[in-house]
Structure 1
Amino acid sequence: MALGEISHDCRRRLATHYGEAAGAWLARIPALMEDAADRWGLSLLGYHDAGHASVGVTATDSWGRAIFLKAWTDPARYRHEVAALRHWRGDLATKVVEAADDLAVAALEMVGGRPGGADRPAVEQALVAQALDDLHAIDACNPPVGIPRLSDYIRHELTPRIRRRLHTVQLAQWMPVAHAGLRALDDILRVPGRETVLHGDLYRENVLFADRRSPVFVDPLPMLGPAAFDWAFWVVYYEAGSGIEQRLELAVQVSGLSERDIHRWCSLLFLDGLLYYLEISDPRAVQFGKTAAAFAVRCEANRP
């Protein structure tokens, strides 16, 4: 089928994420997807209008298998994501069926046979916690070539971003969040942990279910770093503002890491997220700030 142009909402999201320079790439999307489909014998069905860093199209292969065709704006992000998914070969991460480096397009097996995966079970978070521990256990002695290091991200992106925003936003009642986050940042830079291949972007929409018992990780932003970062991201952002205590308890129980280690990363992520929400005047800032402040008070009470 002829895909036609992408939707206005998709164009807006990608332009917000990558700037107006993404416009020329977006105009090429129908041709890129049709080229990939021709190469791999896929039948295109239509756009799946989601995501902020890529464009997705649903398709089927010649055997009738449901395929998700994904095109990345950033070729480096394409390379890193495909490399990580191949490293995690098996049932824990979405399978790469085909990939075209010249197009920065990959054909992925659709989780659960439909966009968004199968229905989520009542014990979702316990299943995800066990799956994340299994993901981290996959051999990291031979990580994919070129995967960025979390330590570089902390030093060269996250730290300067936090320092800049601390001078441009009014924290007011959220100062305990800043104090806890900055202490955590200092600890993290001084005490590196054992590295594994991290997912790096553990929002709920990036963990789908193949069936009612099988979580599958999709859309990673992979890095090499300590597993505590992924656990903290999951605690803070999987469902921002709710279920924090339950996920923290599961993270400590399943990962075998110390609560203090995960606390450090949570404190840093809470500060980074709150500063972002405040900078863009996001209405979520107040509730997120309350959650982050309560967490900071708890961490302070538990400090040795």
Structure 2
Amino acid sequence: MTAQNLGEVPSGCRRRLIDHYGPAAEGWLRAAPRLLAEAAERWHLSLKEYHDAGHSSAVALATTVDGTPVILKAWFEPLRYRHEIAALTVWAGGPTVDVIEAADDLSVAALALVGGRPGGAGPIGRERQMVAAAIQGLHSLGRLRPRPDVPSLAHFRQEVVVPRIRQRLHGLDLGSWKTLVEEACEELPALREDPNRMTVLHADLYRENVIFDRGGHPRLIDPHPLVGDAAFDWAFWTVYYDLEHEVADRLATAARISRVPVPEISPWCRALALDGFLYYWEIDDPALPKIAKVLSSFMASDPEAGR
């Protein structure tokens, strides 16, 4: 069969990838329709339309020969493709998305469609508790199965996060925020990982990366996987899942579900909030006041009080 070429990727996809990767993405964006068409032909799929979402890939809806809808995803970065597929393979059967086909030469995969439509269905209630249970489920699978070939949290922290925090600290005019930021930076060398909590981390737990099936059960998609202390994922979810809203409630739920004490999650929350604050300041992001409030609350909090 000859697959349909969907033509140019949507303007939103183009804008997001160029914002994220810079001009280097231009050539790949021109090639993406051909990559999707080649994968569809290889797997006997019929391409239907683009789904304009994500910051690292081009996504399309397709159907199998029996009419079953699937998601076809093409990654700009081959390394990110390999890491994501490796993590999804470890989590197979868990609260994530199933990999149906994968083409290493194209950096394209066919994934199961969740919730009957791109973007999934909606939650039906108890969202915070349900998502926390899904995170715990992924972590349990990550401990039970062989570790995938993905970066370590230690490497990511030491070689990526801390250097960019320090670079921005010295390069930005933070005005009255400088003292608080310097205080937060003083904690970075003290971050420690518990070897008993090592697992495969999702490491990108924004709300947009949690979708729901028809039963209202969450599926965690689009990971940026690492291997490290589960406390990192709980902190990321606490800080960024719904920025500024219900942060204390998520932290309490994270500690209850994971049995990781609040004082051991909070330092990662402060580090992640600090990293985000400096990034949002640098790009003048509209969400800067929100992350500033989160950072301030964690710097003023008493970890023993559960805040």
Q: TM-score range by the shorter chain?
A: over 0.9
Scaled by the length of structure 1, the TM-score of the pair is 0.94
**Counterpart residue number, 2:227:** 224
Q: Distance in 1 between matches of 2:113 and 2:40?
A: 15
Percent same amino acid among aligned pairs? 45
* Equivalent position SS for 2:218: strand
| Shift, 1:168, TM fit | 1.6
Scaled by the length of structure 2, the TM-score of the pair is 0.93
* 1:64 partnered with 2:30: no
Q: Distance in 2 between matches of 1:178 and 1:214?
A: 38
* 1:298 partnered with 2:301: yes
**Counterpart residue number, 2:266:** 263
**Counterpart residue number, 1:209:** 212
The one-letter code of the counterpart of 1:63 is: D
Q: Distance in 1 between matches of 2:194 and 2:224?
A: 23
* 1:83 partnered with 2:60: no
Deviations 1:14-62 (A, max 9, x none): 1111111111111111111111001111111111111111110011112
**Counterpart residue number, 2:126:** 123
Query: For structure 1, which runs of at least 5 residues remain unmatched after alignment?
Result: none
User: 8 Å contact 1:149–1:225 — kept in the other structure?
Assistant: yes
**Counterpart residue number, 1:274:** 277
Change in Cα spacing, 1:237 to 1:254, as seen in structure 2 (3 Å) is same
User: 8 Å contact 2:266–2:303 — kept in the other structure?
Assistant: no
| Shift, 1:176, TM fit | 6.0
User: 8 Å contact 2:87–2:225 — kept in the other structure?
Assistant: yes
User: 8 Å contact 1:207–1:217 — kept in the other structure?
Assistant: yes
* 1:289 partnered with 2:292: yes
Query: For structure 2, which runs of at least 5 residues remain unmatched after alignment?
Result: none
Change in Cα spacing, 1:140 to 1:293, as seen in structure 2 (3 Å) is same
* 1:149 partnered with 2:152: yes
**Counterpart residue number, 1:166:** 169
Q: Distance in 2 between matches of 1:41 and 1:252?
A: 46
* Equivalent position SS for 1:19: helix
User: 8 Å contact 2:213–2:219 — kept in the other structure?
Assistant: yes
Change in Cα spacing, 1:139 to 1:268, as seen in structure 2 (3 Å) is closer
User: 8 Å contact 1:67–1:110 — kept in the other structure?
Assistant: yes
Deviations 1:190-238 (A, max 9, x none): 8766310000100011111112441111100000000000000000000
User: 8 Å contact 2:100–2:110 — kept in the other structure?
Assistant: yes
Q: Distance in 1 between matches of 2:216 and 2:286?
A: 35
**Shift >4 Å, 4+ stretches:** 189-193, 300-303
Of the three residues 186, 194, 198, the one matched with 1:195 is 198
Deviations 1:150-204 (A, max 9, x none): 1000010101000000012233343464245324322215876631000010001
Change in Cα spacing, 1:91 to 1:145, as seen in structure 2 (3 Å) is closer
* Equivalent position SS for 1:57: strand
* Equivalent position SS for 1:112: coil
The one-letter code of the counterpart of 1:33 is: L
Of the three residues 40, 43, 46, the one matched with 1:40 is 43
Q: Distance in 1 between matches of 2:215 and 2:202?
A: 22
| Shift, 1:125, TM fit | 1.0
**Counterpart residue number, 1:111:** 114
Change in Cα spacing, 1:124 to 1:145, as seen in structure 2 (3 Å) is closer
User: 8 Å contact 1:127–1:215 — kept in the other structure?
Assistant: yes
